[in-house]
């Protein structure tokens, strides 16, 4: 038997024993993804249709209209990019920075670092201002840096998933406009869950993801840009260096022409339409209130149990809470216990907070009073089992 035939025979024999795909039931209360809404999963399971089918093109228009509502904007170019949130993050850099242009990045966590990394790869002149992981920037600090450094783009993370900080954005867009600077916002952990007013706050560019506040599986990254951003894109001196994420090409597919660019993930767009429809049905302000109410219930419950939260309440992120791991507790052991015995996932700290905090997410469909009660009860009954010292209290 030849080598090729032998490999084929071995593969056929071994692979025939694979069972059907099985995934255990999980309640995802970590930094994301969160659980998708059952109605979203129903839409995801519909039979695919062609990405240039009239029915699909009509659905694309629905998605754009619903996204504008959720973003609270009237931007013409508003779309779900094919790819996870990092795709739209990179699109924001690739399309709007040319080699040597200055970008000012306000870094206060892991995802600020990612923006810096991406901007460096596109040969931008990167300037960074930084805060410790757990603090936010003041308006005055940002205003001073923009007026002093005169960047072409100012970028900041609205909801920093690594540290649990919610960054105030009021007034920053006005400063950017006065200094001929585009205002870029990472809204990955805020869109569809927290107050976010793209037009009112004069945000020029923003991106997010599908798997958090929108109650969908990961795979799409909502993006929006206004006329100021369109003008900057159209005045580029060089071609956008990333073909797949080139908004001048995507515009032809998501614009009025609907000209083919790539094979769209049609089922994911079925899903995001349903997730956005559910938000519209609940009402955006009701959604925001639900997330804030459930987060405060979680915070109060954790503090009653003697836990210390990492971020001051003034800047605490309702969708993602960072709680300090008590010194006497085996943090990884407790997380694994919750997952293996109760099917509940909470996250470890990321970056410099690894091993120091747990990250608890209440996003989209998962932001419910029932989930908060369930998790607090487990912290109350199970955490003591993972004390390193038998007599420890925390």
Annotated binding residues for substrate, written as ranges, equal: 359
- The annotation places the binding site at 359
Q: How far is CA 39 from the centre of its chain?
A: 21
**CB contact at 8 A, 297 and 288:** no
């Amino acid at each position: 038997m030849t080598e090729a035939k032998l490999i084929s025979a071995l593969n056929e024999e071994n692979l025939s024993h694979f069972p059907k795909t099985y995934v255990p039931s999980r309640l995802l209360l970590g930094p994301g993804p969160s659980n998708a809404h059952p109605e979203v999963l129903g839409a995801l399971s519909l039979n695919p249709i062609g990405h240039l089918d009239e029915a699909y093109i009509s659905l694309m228009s629905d998605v754009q209209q619903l996204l504008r509502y959720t973003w609270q904007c009237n931007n013409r170019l508003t779309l779900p990019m094919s790819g996870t949130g990092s795709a739209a993050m990179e699109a924001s850099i690739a399309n709007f920075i040319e080699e040597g242009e200055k970008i000012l990045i306000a870094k206060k966590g892991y995802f600020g670092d990612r923006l810096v990394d991406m901007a460096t790869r596109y040969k931008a002149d990167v300037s960074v201002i930084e805060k410790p992981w757990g603090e936010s920037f003041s308006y005055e600090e940002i205003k001073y840096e923009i007026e002093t450094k005169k960047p072409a783009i100012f970028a900041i993370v609205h909801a920093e998933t690594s540290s649990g900080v919610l960054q105030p954005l009021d007034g920053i867009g006005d400063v950017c406009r006065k200094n001929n600077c585009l205002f870029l916002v990472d809204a990955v952990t805020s869109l569809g869950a927290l107050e976010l007013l793209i037009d009112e706050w004069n945000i020029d560019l923003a991106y997010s993801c599908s798997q958090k506040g929108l109650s969908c599986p990961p795979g799409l990254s909502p993006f929006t840009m206004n006329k100021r951003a369109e003008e900057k894109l159209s005045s580029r001196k060089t071609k956008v260096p990333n073909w797949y994420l080139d908004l001048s090409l995507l515009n032809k597919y998501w614009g009025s022409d609907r000209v083919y660019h790539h094979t769209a993930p049609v089922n994911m767009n079925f899903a995001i339409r349903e997730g956005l429809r559910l938000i519209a049905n609940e009402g955006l302000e009701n959604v925001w209130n639900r997330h804030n109410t459930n987060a405060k219930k979680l915070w109060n419950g954790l503090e009653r149990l003697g836990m210390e939260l990492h971020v001051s309440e003034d800047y605490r992120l309702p969708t993602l809470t960072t709680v300090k791991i008590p010194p006497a507790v085996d943090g990884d052991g407790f997380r694994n216990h919750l997952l293996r015995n109760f099917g509940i996932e909470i996250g470890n700290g990321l970056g410099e907070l690894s091993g120091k905090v747990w990250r608890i997410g209440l996003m989209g469909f998962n932001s419910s009073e029932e989930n908060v009660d369930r998790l607090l009860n487990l912290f109350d009954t199970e955490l003591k089992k993972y004390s390193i010292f038998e007599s420890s209290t925390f």
